[in-house]
Amino acid sequence: MSVKPPVIQSVIDVLSGTPVFAGTRVPVQTLLDYLEAGDRLDDFLEDFPTVTREQAVAALDLAREALTHHAGPPR
């Protein structure tokens, strides 16, 4: 069984513990800001080449899972 590397990390020595894409200094919030502004994922990836498409998609999947889990079961 293989263990997936973390997508997001928070280390006090990297941007004072701001959640970043693992192995980079790019805050995850930056991706959300791009998308909120109407930019495409490709625009973000072009501007931040240290983040892979797989990392960005995995982070969005984590956000989706957290939001849908938080919503709870249908009433």
Q: How many residues does the chain have?
A: 75
pLDDT tens, residue by residue, 17-47 = 999 999 999 999 999 999 999 999 999 999 9
**Residue 20 included in any domain:** yes
pTM of the model: 0.85
Counted domains in the chain? 1
Residue 24 maps to a domain:
yes
Q: How far apart are CA 41 and CA 39, in angstroms?
A: 7
CATH number of the domain that 32 lies in? 1.10.10.10
Place of tokens 């928070």: 10
Q: Which two tokens stand for residue 41?
A: 């994922």
For the chain, where are the E strands, in sequence order?
8-9, 20-21
Tell me, what's the pLDDT at 17?
A: 94
Please say whether the beta carbons of 8 and 30 come within 8 A. Answer: no
